[in-house]
Chains A and B, each alone.
Chain A
Amino acid sequence: MAGIPLSHGLLVAVVLFALGLVGVLARRNLVFMLMSIEIMLNAAGLAFIAGGARWAQPDGQIMFILVLTLAAAEVSVGLALILALYHRLETLDADAADKLKG
């Protein structure tokens, strides 16, 4: 089994990461922003898996599992925040929460 060139695997990861990034920056809806962050985290996990596969070591998967844990914790807190914000502001517009304006 010849396998896949590592650069291809990483390229897919980067494309997914960049798409997630675009989503975070372009969307105003908080739910979509959070989804985009999930995409980015998943892309990072993919990069770890690819790297781990290149060296045939379990470490890549371990890192992926840690990323997964992080994503789970992040989503639970993030969604709770979105709910709280929605109750307070009656909107999901990220630009509406601009009290930190200088």
Chain B
Amino acid sequence: MTAAFYVSAAIAVLSTVMAITRADAVHALLYLVVSLLAAASIFYVLGAPFAAVLEVIIYAGAIMVLFVFVVMMLNLGQAATIQERSWIKPRMWIGPAALMAVLMAEVAYVLWASRKGNFAGANVIEAEQVGIAFFGPYLLAVELASMLLLAGLVAACHLGRGDERK
């Protein structure tokens, strides 16, 4: 199981790196799906099977399908890929990479201090426990999440209708 974690982690990191560096949107999306599936297996290893299933269904399934759908609607062809290549210059990565390095350093410092005696994934938390907690103490959060989704729905509808005045 431990090996599975590290393999999945490596796949997740590598596929994410590929995803953010691709010029073709569809390629990037496919790498992203791989990254999400790897994350799902990490969840499973960490003893959260319910979350792993949701990751596959909703993230890798529904959300990524949305992306594919939009890429299709935009009808980006070869020209867009060439345009994208011209935007990806080595110079552009310097700043973000520096920021990333600082972030990593800070987090590594914190994690180094607490590296001992903390182990995760020893117990499996089933969907039942998650559901009981969800509709028990977190009921208000569920309600809020429903409102958020409704707002997202309304906003997407409104924006998707386009400019009717045209």
Q: Which residues of A contact B (CB under 8 A)?
A: 1-12, 14-29, 31-32, 34-36, 38-39, 42, 45-46, 49-54, 56-62, 64-66, 68-77, 79-84, 86-88, 92-93
Check B13 against A38 for contact (C-beta < 8 Å). no
Task: With both chains docked as a complex, state the minimum distance between the C-beta of A67 and any C-beta of chain B, in angstroms.
Answer: 10
Q: With A21-B99, A74-B152 known to touch, is A7 a contact of B20 (CB < 8 Å)?
A: no
**A interface footprint on B126-166 (CB within 8 Å = 1, 0 otherwise):** 00011011100010010001001101110110111011000
B39, B80, B148 interface centre (most CB from chain A within 10 Å):
B39
A26 touching B46 in the complex, CB below 8 Å, given contacts A7-B115, A52-B125, A76-B152: no
Complex A-B: 17 CB contacts under 8 Å: A1-B122, A3-B119, A6-B114, A7-B118, A14-B107, A16-B13, A18-B103, A19-B20, A21-B100, A22-B100, A26-B20, A26-B95, A27-B87, A60-B48, A65-B51, A76-B66, A76-B152
Pick from A12, A22, A72: contact of B9, CB below 8 A: A12
Q: Are A66 and B13 in contact (CB under 8 A)?
A: no
Interface residues on B, range: 35 or more
Are the CB atoms of A83 and B100 closer together than 8 Å? no
| Complex alpha-carbon distance, A35 and B22, angstroms | 12
A19-B17, A71-B63, A83-B70 provided; 18 other pairs, C-beta below 8 A?
Answer: A16-B13, A29-B25, A31-B71, A35-B19, A35-B28, A38-B32, A38-B59, A42-B59, A53-B48, A56-B123, A59-B133, A61-B48, A61-B50, A65-B51, A66-B141, A68-B59, A74-B152, A76-B155
Contacts A26-B20, A60-B48; A80 near B13 (Cβ below 8 A):
no
Partner of A54, one of B1, B5, B118: B118
Interface string of B105-129 (1 = CB under 8 A from A): 0011001101100111111010001
Judge whether B2 and A2 touch: CB under 8 Å.
yes
B residues within 8 A CB of A69?
Answer: 145, 148-149
Q: Is the CB of A84 within 8 A of B162?
A: yes
**Residue numbers in A under 8 Å from B99 (CB-CB):** 21-22, 25
Find out whether the CB atom of B156 lies under 8 angstroms from the CB atom of A76. Answer: yes
| B1 cross-chain contacts in A, Cβ below 8 A | 1
Q: A9-B120, A18-B100, A76-B66 are in contact. Are A49 and B59 (CB under 8 A)?
A: no
The complex places the Cα of A32 from the Cα of B16 at a distance, in Å, of 12
Distance of A72 from chain B, by nearest CB (Å): 6
